[in-house]
Amino acid sequence: MVRVLFVCLGNICRSPTAEGVFRNLVEREGLSDSIQVDSAGTHAYHVGEAPDGRAQAEAKRRGLDISALRSRQARSQDFQTYDYVLAMDRSNHDNLMNICPLGSEDRLSMFLDFAPEVGRREVPDPYYDGGFNRVYDMIEQAASGLLSDIREKHM
Ligand code: 4NP
């Protein structure tokens, strides 16, 4: 089993979208028995909440229902459980590095590093400025690159 955790700040916009997009891809590829997917936030502001209405609407527009997901906070133990811990931006990466047990740093990556064609390393935070459509496109591209990496290294 390969385990993947997507992480942003609040776990209500970017990382639940990534969780939904990647899980859908894994299902379509028939790999649900081999790849487990979750998401979390570095902060606890929105713990227990469903994804932001704008993230839900964008997902729905693309045919994906992410309404049942609930926000939780990332914890040190996640680095024992998850093979891939994927940060949406540098600030998430810094916060994750602060709770990462010594020796587990190689599990942590910037999610967009799996999509060099996007030409940037950070998924912009859409909470205040919007841009859910563009965020969704970036996430789809990186999800595909991530699956290729998993196939190459673990299958
Ligand atoms: P996310 O977006 O990290 O993509 O879930 C945000 C959600 C909430 C806040 C900031 C970003 N907030 O400040 O409450």
Give per-residue pLDDT as tens, 70-126: 999 999 999 999 999 999 999 999 999 999 999 999 999 999 999 999 999 999 999
45 lines ligand 1 (CB under 6 A): yes
* Single-letter residue type at 87: A
CATH code of the domain covering residue 130: 3.40.50.2300
16 lines ligand 1 (CB under 6 A): no
In Å, how far are 11, 32, 58 from 144, measured between CA atoms? 21, 15, 19
Q: Which residues contact 120 (CB under 8 A, 6 or more apart)?
A: 112, 138
- For ligand 1, atom 7, which residue shows the shortest CA distance? 10
Res 29: pLDDT? 98
Domain count, the chain: 1
127 lines ligand 1 (CB under 6 A): yes
């942003």: which residue's tokens? 8
Domain residues for 113?
2-154
Give per-residue pLDDT as tens, 19-36: 999 999 999 999 999 999
Which of the 8 DSSP states describes residue 23? H
* Pocket mutation for ligand 1, best pick of 7, 9, 14, 19 (most atoms within 8 Å of C-beta): 9
């949406």: which residue's tokens? 88
Q: Collapsing DSSP states into helix, strand and coil, what is residue 65? A: coil
CA 100 to chain CA mean position, Å: 17
